[in-house]
Structure 1
Amino acid sequence: MAEPHQEPSRPTPSTAPVPRLLHDTRTLAGLDSARTGALWRLAEPGRQLDANLVHLPPHGAIDRHVEPDLDVLLLVVSGDGTLTTAQERQPLTEGCLAWLPRGSGRSLAAGADGMTYLTVHRRRPGMRILGPAAPGAAPPS
């Protein structure tokens, strides 16, 4: 006799994740303009997304790079700057939303007042630690 079909378990109201406010980004965007790097990171357990609020100081830059695996959304929260791709230079101002498709080369440069922006992308899978390879085994792909 065949086993009856069972529906996958769903979170009950008491165990389901609850939407909530994480931060007021206006308080971070107004910090010391010389401060550089991530001002805030999404760190909630069990999340499927990663997000970072990043600040570039006046005339600061992120050199050309390629993200091979992930599409990224970039939202300028304050300040201004330039997105440079292989095809063109695009001005970025407060409120601009840019899509950075995986495999695309790009660089960012902040304007005279610096630039603070939010990036959002799918979370990278965790790193795996592999045991020693057997003699003569092919390297992992």
Structure 2
Amino acid sequence: MSKAERQVGRKAEAAMPLILGNTDALSATASSETAVLWKLAESGRQLDANVVRLTPGRHIAPHAEPDLDVLVLVVAGDGVLGAGPQDEPQSLNTGTLLWLPHGSTRSITAGDDGLAYLTVHRRRPGLQIGQAPRDRTAQDR
């Protein structure tokens, strides 16, 4: 097999679907602590994803994400989605799928049974080291 054929084989392997886990198993074995239960960590990914568990009554404080849309899927428990100050809170239950558009204000509070949810959004670009722009002199103008 040539070097080119081996490289094509590696690319095909990297592009194969991969089962990453089971959300039922994650939420069932979770401790009683609020925590991130799972993170997408595969190299070369274009998405970020997390499974988060909030214990009963715990919450994510109101905030707005200015740059990213976020998709949320409730995988266990129940809770409340708070939107803006004038909006009515919305119930969250297992199976609820919601979209949080960038710029929207949101908060999440776990109900009596706690709440576990999957978040998915575009991956933020990493920091890049670049050359600083040079000062323009009279000769450049």
Place the TM-score, normalised by the shorter chain, in its bin. Answer: 0.7 to 0.9
Pairs aligned (count): 126
Measured on the aligned residues, the alpha-carbon RMSD in Å equals 2.0
1:45 is paired with a residue of what secondary structure? coil
Cα shift at 1:13: 4.9
Cα shift at 1:56: 0.3
How far, CA to CA, are the matches of 1:83 and 1:101 in structure 2?
Answer: 14
| Consecutive aligned runs of 4 or more in structure 1 exceeding 6 Å deviation | 131-136
Superposition TM-score, scaled by structure 1 size? 0.81
The 1:134–1:14 alpha-carbon spacing in structure 2 relative to 1, beyond 3 Å, is: closer
* Corresponding residue of 1:23: 21
More helix by share: 2
Superposition TM-score, scaled by structure 2 size? 0.81
Greater displacement, 18-27 / 76-85: 18-27
2:26 is paired with a residue of what secondary structure? helix
Within-5 A mapping of 1:14-93:
14-16=10-12, 17-86=15-84, 87-93=87-93
* Corresponding residue of 1:8: none
Deviations, residues 54-88 of structure 1 (Å, cap 9, x unaligned): 00001110000111000000000000000000122
Identity of paired residues, percent?
52
Cα shift at 1:36: 1.2
Cα shift at 1:135: 7.6
* Corresponding residue of 2:139: none
Residue identity matched to 1:36: T
Within-5 A mapping of 1:122-137:
122-129=122-129
How far, CA to CA, are the matches of 2:26 and 2:53 in structure 1?
Answer: 9
